[in-house]
């Protein structure tokens, strides 16, 4: 039996190598490899704990390989594979083996991700349930004992936030995103995986706050506290991305660009006095280390927000020209014009003025 288990473990490792290549052919080959492992292990007695553990691993990896394949039916097959893995992991002494508990939590999380990708209401609801199961499984783990424990729990909270957003439940998504951020924050300055989770969780939190802002605007409810929280979140997220950028790690530019666009729209609509400052803080390297002045998407978002805010001011008609309000608006207009000039200068310097 030991020899067969060793062969099975080697075949799982080979399947993971194929899976890591990420091509349609290699993913199909990986799936076949896991099928062969499962067939091999089924010849062994299920009373053996190591056999059940390897079967759980093989089914989990089969689900992972299927989830990465483009055919819609592969997602449904992935969920069935994860269900098999869950059934085997549940037979193991989880309270005695934190690694098995962590693996079962990861299976629940991956199952939820496969359901989320199916995107219909029933699958989204089941996705949220799967992420809650993952959270309950992962919560008891000693998070500082193993890096993957913290990563998986934070990722499960992030995935739950995304599922809740897709279900139209921004208030619940807020809480889930905040939990993900709290878990990632202690190590996100040094661990790129946790930085990625922390940034994505802040993006989810911004989306949830943005939806609440839209709802508050529509019903003429106060928006100041929501706008202030959203601005703090987006500023914190972009500062984190800049810290990694200043160390020569540009991994987070795509999500930083999305957060920057959200921030520019947020400041333009709800905190216009600070729009020019926001744009230049995150775009001008003379103001902030790690600023990203060579990304076209940043200039597009900045240009749109600044032009919209300036045009809004220029279209106004003020009766009391010497009023404090007029003075404030004129100061804002000067700031916006100066910011537009600086953005144009930065674009010309770093992108050759390309539009």
Say what the pTM is. Answer: 0.92
Does 289 fall in a domain?
Answer: yes
The reported pLDDT for the residue numbered 353 is 52
The answer to whether position 318 is within a domain reads: yes
Residue 74 falls inside a structural domain = no
Q: Is residue 169 part of a domain?
A: no
Any domain includes 164: no
189-225 burial by CB neighbour count: b if 16+ within 10 A, else e?
Answer: eebebbbbbbbbbbbbbbbbbbbbbeebeeeeeebee
Give 10-residue mean pLDDT values along the chain (355 residues): 87 92 93 94 93 96 93 92 97 95 98 95 97 98 96 98 97 97 97 98 96 88 91 97 94 95 95 95 93 91 95 72 77 93 93 63
Spell out the long-range contacts of 129-136 with Cβ–Cβ below 8 A and sequence spacing 24 or more.
131/156, 131/157, 131/159, 131/160, 131/163, 132/160, 133/108, 134/105, 134/106, 134/108, 134/109, 134/159, 135/105, 135/160
Give the residue numbers spanning the domain of 287. Answer: 222-355
Q: What integer pLDDT is reported at residue 3 of this predicted model? A: 86
What is the number of structural domains in the chain?
1
Q: Is residue 183 part of a domain?
A: no
Residue 44 lies in a domain: no
Give a yes or no: residue 25 inside a domain.
no
pLDDT score, position 355? 46
């Amino acid at each position: 039996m030991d020899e067969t288990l060793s062969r099975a473990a080697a075949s799982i490792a080979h399947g993971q190598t194929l899976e890591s290549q990420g091509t349609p052919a290699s993913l199909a080959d990986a799936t076949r490899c896991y099928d062969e492992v499962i067939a091999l292990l089924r010849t062994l007695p299920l009373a053996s704990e190591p056999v059940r553990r390897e079967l759980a691993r093989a089914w989990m990896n089969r689900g992972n390989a299927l989830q990465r394949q483009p055919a819609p039916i592969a997602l449904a097959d992935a969920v069935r594979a994860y269900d098999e893995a869950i059934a085997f992991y549940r037979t193991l002494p989880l309270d005695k083996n934190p690694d098995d508990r962590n693996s079962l939590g990861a299976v629940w999380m991956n199952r939820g991700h496969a359901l989320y990708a199916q995107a219909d209401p029933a699958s989204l609801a089941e996705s949220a349930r799967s992420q809650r199961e993952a959270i309950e499984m992962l919560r008891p783990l000693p998070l500082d004992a193993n890096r993957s424990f913290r990563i998986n729990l934070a990722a499960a909270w992030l995935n739950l936030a995304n599922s809740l957003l897709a279900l139209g439940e921004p208030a619940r998504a807020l809480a889930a995103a905040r939990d993900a951020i709290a878990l990632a924050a202690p190590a996100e300055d040094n661990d790129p995986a946790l930085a990625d989770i922390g940034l994505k969780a802040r993006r989810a939190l911004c989306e949830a706050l943005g939806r609440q802002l839209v709802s508050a605007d529509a019903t003429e409810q106060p928006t100041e506290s929501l706008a202030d929280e959203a601005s703090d979140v987006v500023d914190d997220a972009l500062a984190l991305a800049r810290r990694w950028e200043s160390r020569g790690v540009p991994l987070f530019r795509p999500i930083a660009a999305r957060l920057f666009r959200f921030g520019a729209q947020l400041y333009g609509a709800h905190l216009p006095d600070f729009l020019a400052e926001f744009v230049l803080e995150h775009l001008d390297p003379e103001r902030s280390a790690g600023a990203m002045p060579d990304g076209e998407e940043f200039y597009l978002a900045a240009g749109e927000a600044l032009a919209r805010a300036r045009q809004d001011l220029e279209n106004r008609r003020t009766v009391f020209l010497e009023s404090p309000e007029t003075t404030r608006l004129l100061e804002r207009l000067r700031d916006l014009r100066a910011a537009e000039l600086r953005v144009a200068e930065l674009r010309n310097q770093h992108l050759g003025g390309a539009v």
